[in-house]
Amino acid sequence: MPVSNPLWPAQLDHFRLDSDVPQALCAFYCQALGLEASPQADGTTLLDGPGRRLLIGTGRRGEQPFIAFRLPNTSQLAALAARLTDRGLELLPSPTPLFQVGALAVRDPDGRQVVFGLPRPHLSPGGRPTSLGVLPGRLQHVVVASQNLGPMLRFYEHGLGMVVSDTVREEDGTPTVGFLRTDPEHHSFAVFRAPQSRPDHHSYECTCWNDIRDWADHLAGLRIPLWWGPGRHGPGNNLFFMFQDPQGYLIELSAELEVVPDEVRGRFWKHEERTLNLWGPGFMRS
Ligand SMILES: [Fe+2]
């Protein structure tokens, strides 16, 4: 695929989530997702487990200041920087402590920073297995809701170079959701049309359906109820369920996410509940 596209391939590496009570949020995530906490020099806390990691910081409740994608080498990062500059985007210093010197960021139409870089060697993704983190779940995508869907989709597709896998649209053709990929997996990022711009969910890809069962049993032991699902999404064809963190941010466990052939771009789905859950009720953001 897009050999001339310097964003290809890239994978979601981590994101930052803020809270006015960060310690309580850290405790929830460590238990729920089997993560270990370690303080960072910038005041954030790294929550780390096999294949998954995030940063929690002190700030406005539920804010997601940035999402960070890793690239495989410095030459691709340099080519991406050139592309972004060529598109007229302002390159900002990287806000994450987890990437090497040379990482960069740009700001999307909703104000969120998107960071690109290479992981620091001793913090390679998926690094440390933990005693709690026995269940498989690789941080795979984040999804946001936006009141600026058109500008957001244009920014992520034409500005950054993500590839559109699927679009959900109204009868008259108005888009309501865009799913975008940065490697052959169906989406590493998506935007839902919504009355307010906000984070929507973050997703952890499991190895199979039985992992989904085991995660649900693990959460049952913590008395954390499922919020939506289990079900199967139309776009992406993945099995899923979701649960909420204490701030209402949704966490998804997923399996069987579609691997998209290179030639597939821009398929369309009808704006209806069935698109979001082939098995039953959908969660409609608009
Ligand atoms: Fe998802």
CA of 82 to the centre of ligand 1 (A): 30
Token reading at 259? 């691997």
CA of 242 to the centre of ligand 1 (A): 9
CA of 143 to the centre of ligand 1 (A): 6
CA of 34 to the centre of ligand 1 (A): 20
What does the pLDDT read at residue 197?
A: 97
CA of 183 to the centre of ligand 1 (A): 16
Token reading at 186? 């169906």
What does the pLDDT read at residue 264?
A: 86
CA of 252 to the centre of ligand 1 (A): 6
In angstroms, the Cα distances linking 109 to 20, 89, 113, 123, 219 are 25, 11, 9, 30, 35
Domain 11-120 indexed as CATH 3.10.180.10: yes
What does the pLDDT read at residue 263?
A: 86
What does the pLDDT read at residue 153?
A: 98
CA of 138 to the centre of ligand 1 (A): 13
CA of 210 to the centre of ligand 1 (A): 18
CA of 235 to the centre of ligand 1 (A): 10
Ligand 1 being an ion, which residues bring their Cβ within 5 A of it?
203, 252
CA of 11 to the centre of ligand 1 (A): 15
CA of 186 to the centre of ligand 1 (A): 10
CA of 156 to the centre of ligand 1 (A): 17
CA of 124 to the centre of ligand 1 (A): 24
What does the pLDDT read at residue 44?
A: 98
What's the predicted TM-score (pTM) here? 0.95
Q: Rounded to an integer, what distance in angstroms lies between the CA atom of residue 17 and that of residue 63?
A: 6
CA of 238 to the centre of ligand 1 (A): 8
Question: 138-276 falls under which CATH superfamily?
Answer: 2,3-Dihydroxybiphenyl 1,2-Dioxygenase, domain 1 (3.10.180.10)
Closest CA to 74 of 123, 19, 118, 140: 118
CA of 101 to the centre of ligand 1 (A): 31
Closest CA to 131 of 207, 49, 206: 49
10 Å Cβ neighbour count for 193?
23
- pLDDT (tens place) for every residue of the chain, 286 residues total: 555 799 999 999 999 999 999 999 999 999 999 999 999 999 999 999 989 999 999 999 999 999 999 999 999 999 999 999 999 999 999 999 999 999 999 999 999 999 999 999 876 555 555 555 579 999 999 999 999 999 999 999 999 999 999 999 999 999 999 999 999 999 999 999 999 999 999 999 999 999 999 999 999 999 999 999 999 999 999 999 999 999 999 999 999 999 999 888 889 999 999 999 999 999 999 9
CA of 100 to the centre of ligand 1 (A): 28
From-to residues of CATH 3.10.180.10 in the chain: 11-120, 138-276
CA of 203 to the centre of ligand 1 (A): 5
What does the pLDDT read at residue 125?
A: 54
Q: HEC string of the chain?
A: CCCCCCCCCCEEEEEEEEECCHHHHHHHHHHHHCCEEEECCCCCEEEEECCEEEEEEECCCCCCCEEEEECCCHHHHHHHHHHHHHCCCCCEECCCCCECCCCEEEECCCCCEEEEECECHHHCCCCCCCCCCCCCCEEEEEEEEECCHHHHHHHHHHHHCCEEEEEEECCCCCEEEEEEECCCECCCEEEEECCCCEEEEEEEECCCHHHHHHHHHHHHHCCCCCCEEEEECCCCCCEEEEEECCCCCEEEEEECCCECCCCCCCEEEECCHHHHCCCCCCCCCC
